[in-house]
Structure 1
Amino acid sequence: MTAPHTGGCRCGAVRFEASVEPHHISYCHCSDCRRASGAPVSAFVGFMADQITLDGKSLKAYRNGPVERSFCGICGSPIAYTDERLANQIYFMLGAMDMPAYFRPTLHAHVREQLPFLHMPDDLPRHLRTSVPRPDKQRPDRQRPDGTKS
């Protein structure tokens, strides 16, 4: 299957289309994604934001620090997230894709937060924290208390 890739919410009020192949497909085990999705693990499909179209007047968003999660204001379906530290990137919920079986995750992120009863017996790489490095805007030089750089 090749682009375009489409998806949307449960009621159809929000639709999106990506004109290219994704640059990232992964599972995330962090507690923030669990709470946002209501699932024990989330899966995301990442695209460059300037290569997607997103349509829906019912699209709502919730910001928590640098991360903004979008959802349908009518049916509540989670749609995507963006992170201001990851310029021009958007990560759609795998379950929001019209053809989710096409997007096989390639890794697990935040496995240190994985629920102990959740077993996913695959041989995918596992990252203790994030799989997509984010610059630390709050402490760019990482100075020690004595003023020297680390």
Structure 2
Amino acid sequence: MTDTPHTGGCRCGAVRFSASVAPHHISYCHCHDCRRAGGAPVSAFVGFKKEYVTFDGDTLKAFENGPVARSFCGVCGSPVAYVDDRLADDVWIALGAMDQPAAYKPSHHAYVREQLPFVHMPDSLPRHVKFSVPRPTEDTQ
């Protein structure tokens, strides 16, 4: 993956974003919170260093839950990104919000102990009981 702009936005176009560097992490998440936030049985995120990501549009809203703040478009409600206070230098973009989502192949599964029993993803990617990116106050297993 190159350092060319990585772009995306919400469904209605009121929020746009761009990252000027390649992502450092791409992962599926099976946790309960991501399911609720995204309305899907599994979510996927593209992680970038926050300093290289810009957001355009004034309709971006956020919902905070503990150390995590999830952003979404205030017009169409599309999930856009999340930040985690424990990973202050990173922003995690919803893979489905990327303009070219097929270019971002996940390399891990996170929170597999919360994976729904009918979701079958027969790949050989590493599977983590908790986070796929360790938090300073949490362990990965």
Tell me the residue number matched to 2:110. 109
- Computed over aligned residues only, the root mean square deviation of the Cα atoms, in angstroms, reads 1.1
Q: Deviations over 1:43-88 (max 9, x none)?
A: 0000000001111100000000100000000000000000001021
CA-CA distance at 1:135 after TM superposition: 1.7
Normalised TM-score (structure 1) = 0.89
Tell me the residue number matched to 2:69. 68
Residues 27-106 of structure 1: pairs in structure 2 closer than 5 A: 27-106=28-107
Give, as a single letter, the amino acid of the residue that structure 2 aligns with 1:26: S
Residues matched between the structures, number: 137
CA distance in 1 between counterparts of 2:58 and 2:135 reads: 30
Q: Percent identity?
A: 71
CA distance in 2 between counterparts of 1:87 and 1:43 reads: 19
CA distance in 2 between counterparts of 1:127 and 1:14 reads: 32
CA distance in 1 between counterparts of 2:37 and 2:98 reads: 17
CA distance in 1 between counterparts of 2:67 and 2:88 reads: 11
Give, as a single letter, the amino acid of the residue that structure 1 aligns with 2:81: A
CA distance in 2 between counterparts of 1:115 and 1:65 reads: 24
Tell me the residue number matched to 2:16. 15
CA distance in 2 between counterparts of 1:110 and 1:52 reads: 26
Q: Which has the larger radius of gyration?
A: 1
CA distance in 2 between counterparts of 1:44 and 1:118 reads: 18
3-state SS of 1:85 partner? helix
Structure 1 stretches of 5 or more lacking a match? 138-150
Normalised TM-score (structure 2) = 0.95
3-state SS of 2:87 partner? coil
Structure 2 stretches of 5 or more lacking a match? none
CA-CA distance at 1:37 after TM superposition: 0.1
